[in-house]
Structure 1
Amino acid sequence: MKNTQKAWLFYVASAPQFGGGHVMRSLELAKTMQANGKDIDFLLDQHAAHWFPVLSEHGFEYFDDVNSVTGEYEGLWLDHYHPDYMFLNRCSYPVAGLIDTVNKSGFPKHSIAYSAHVGANVSGFEYALLNPEFAKIERSPSPVLSRITLCFGQKDSKGATTKILSILESTEVPLKLNVVCGAQNEAYAAIKEYVDRTRHDAQFYHAPSNLIEIMAQTDLFIGSGGVSVLESCAAGIPYLAIITAENQSAQVEELSALGVIINAGKIEHIIDTEFLNLIDTLTPMALNQLSNCSRKLIDGNGAQRIANEITTWAKNANG
């Protein structure tokens, strides 16, 4: 029988409206802590059954109701914008989480926040949560920009994939497109049809298990400002970010200011000609510079760093 006092509970935003970024980044931390000998349970939102097989595949147990959680855990990892604060205040065990999901006024006494942004207890892009295999990708750039990957997360509620495909259709340069459609994208059929009839050389991917192989064959990644931008940075793949949710703005703006990605702005403000002109400025030299800078910033070991630190921190907090 599991001793929950030696286990961690991961409370993660997992309902369809939250996309997949929260679960995927927390899953990397959970896998790392599991490899370090910790048992991990997940607390999911209601209507998150699509994540059950993913968690089971990695040997994690899960709850989808806060009232089902019993026992005392060594600690709780929080990655949720709208958690049940009554549940959190009942928790007597330490709470760690990401700064963009932390509201200290609703937290128990012991809490610590991590972030890639300034303002957290521990900050820096070296704490980015992602699969360390991304940092092992061997980039093989083309002589000219031609291989472009489009990926706007699990849901793409703003229809960014279709919009950018439409814009790229008007370019005179022949492109090789990798079009990735998330599992919860309701426009799946329309995107597949668009890919089938485009004049470009296009491949369609529906809910791939990961982006590592796809990313390795990419000159430019065009996507939203969530987890994929950090994965791309670790891989040294030049990234053109389009903000599709307000909570992505800070990360995109900071990475852009550091010179490691291109910020194309909000999806609602994208203008066809300006977007194509922006891509035209991305010479091989400019892409190489983005690649070199991004890889220096993120090394892919963030999950191990956080796992080590919160384990020690929780041990001290528990006395």
Structure 2
Amino acid sequence: MSPRRLKRVQVAFRTDASIEIGTGHVMRCLTLADALRERGAECQFICRLHNGHLMDLIAERGYMAVALPKPPKEAIKTCAVPPHAYWLGTDWARDAQETCQAIAAVDCLIVDHYGLDRRWEEELRSACRHLMIIDDLADRPHNCDLLLDQSLGRTEQDYNGLLSAHAITLLGPDYALLRPEFAELRGESLARRLQPKLEHVLVTMGGVDRENVTGLVLDALDLCTSPSNLRITVVMGPHAPWLPQVRARALRMQRPTQVLTGVRDMARLMVGSDLAIGAAGSTTWERCSLGLPTIQIALADNQKEMAAVLAKRGAVIGTASKEDLSADLPNLLSILGTDQLKSLVSSSALVCAGGGAATVADHLLRLSLETLEGT
């Protein structure tokens, strides 16, 4: 495939970030956009101006970002289909109309949004040659050509009756959308963990953490009997509503604790960490790719199933509930020894190797170019 031809592929992403939604959907779309751009494609984003949007970050990363109108103060929360429909901040038909107006015809439209389903997708068919869906829930029907679900243990049967017959599926963590540095640093990270230690704990509850679970984790860590040389690093998003409180709590910790925002090299930070206490979101695959032992906490109902699967595979330690952290976390850390750390390293590293973004980009461009060459 020549670079000249790849430049003909025009890609649009429809995704959102907000205090309610979090940042993970936009961040993984940015990762895929980077892989596509590296292969010559041109990408743009269409996002609604929710409280906590990431439009500035998207523009900073070099992509055109088209803003859909900000939702009214009383966003629509009465829609029951699909279950996350209220995340749109408007009804699906209006969102479809506004998205059509925001983009010219593109070769591929990529949708990463739990609030959208087949009805919206059918309205957008005329605006794109191919439509790709990124999903984790398998809870609603889609009209798409390509579907990516990076969930561990996901099978085609989970989407029976939800996809059109011609749809191609990319299922499982082998397709997880991770930045290339995770695959690049995998060997170094695994080698560092041949003799596990516990000196540096990384706490990351996602870019928003709207219920301040980070604060609960810090409270629990202060109750733990931990090594005297233990240090703690907390990573939060710049829009996290509890950031000032977490910073204040960090100053009162018994062990040295730093709070970082806007981290640009998460892979390197994870390589230098001995244990993560983290949410069961998309960062799960980053930790697994580097074999980073993890105590995982499901922050939302849609994370519980995957957290349980990972725990059953031995890829994470339990799934401490946020309600019981003060008791669970000290107990889990008290029994955490070298053998268990080694087991976690090996089991988590088997889940994901980190090369999914390149694989997905190649699939998508191959599909787009085959169509272009036939026109």
Provide the TM-score with structure 2 as the length reference.
0.77
C-alpha separation in 2, matches of 1:19 and 1:60:
20
In the TM superposition, 1:1-319 aligns within 5 A as 6-47=9-50, 50-65=53-68, 66-83=99-116, 87-92=120-125, 93-100=129-136, 105=141, 107-108=142-143, 110-117=144-151, 118-120=154-156, 121-135=169-183, 136-137=185-186, 138-139=188-189, 140-141=192-193, 144-173=197-226, 174=228, 175-268=230-323, 270-316=324-370
Kept in 2, the 8 Å contact 1:234–1:294? The answer is yes
- What is the CA deviation profile of residues 253-310 of structure 1, one whole-angstrom value per residue up to 9, with x for unaligned ones? 2222222112324313x24233211122221221122112222321111001111112
- Deviation digits for residues 29-69 of structure 1 (CA, Å, limit 9, x no counterpart): 11000000100111112236752232222221121222532
1:126 counterpart letter in structure 2:
D
Gaps of 5+ in 1: none
CA contact (8 A) 2:137 2:302 kept: no
Asked whether the equivalents of residues 215 and 246 of structure 2 are also in contact (C-alpha less than 8 Å), the reply is: yes
| Counterpart residue number, 2:89 | none
**Over the residues paired in the alignment, what is the CA RMSD in angstroms?**
2.5
Q: Deviations over 1:93-118 (max 9, x none)?
A: 3211223266663x44x432111231
For residue 153 of structure 1, give the secondary structure of its aligned residue in structure 2.
Answer: coil
Give unpaired runs (5+ residues) of structure 2: 1-5, 69-98, 157-168
How far apart in 1 are the matches of 2:351 and 2:277? 19
The question of whether the paired residues in 2 share the 8 Å contact of 1:264 and 1:275 is answered with no
Q: Distance in 2 between matches of 1:143 and 1:12?
A: 39
Q: Distance in 2 between matches of 1:48 and 1:30?
A: 23
Change in 2 beyond 3 A, CA 1:86/1:297: closer
Match for 2:23: what amino acid? G
Asked if the contact 1:81/1:102 (under 8 Å) is kept, the reply is no
SS in 2 for 1:276: helix
Structure-2 separation of matches of 1:148 and 1:284: 15
By how many angstroms is 1:143 displaced? 5.7
TM-score, normalised to structure 1's length?
0.89
Higher mean Cα deviation, 132-141 or 6-15? 132-141
Give 3-state SS (helix, strand or coil) of 1:307's partner.
helix
Separation (CA, whole Å) in 2 of partners of 1:57 and 1:305: 25
Q: Which amino acid aligns with 1:96?
A: M
Measure, in 2, the Cα distance between the counterparts of 1:219 and 1:49.
31
Aligned length: 314
**Are the equivalent residues in 1 in contact too, given 2:238–2:261 (CA < 8 A)?**
yes
> How big is the shift at 1:125?
1.2
Shift of 1:314: 3.9
Q: Given that residues 176 and 201 in structure 1 are in contact (C-alpha distance below 8 angstroms), is that contact kept between their aligned partners in structure 2?
A: yes
Query: 2:17, 2:117 → 1: CA distance?
Result: 13
For residues 51 and 219 of structure 2, the distance between their equivalents in structure 1, rounded to whole angstroms, comes to 32
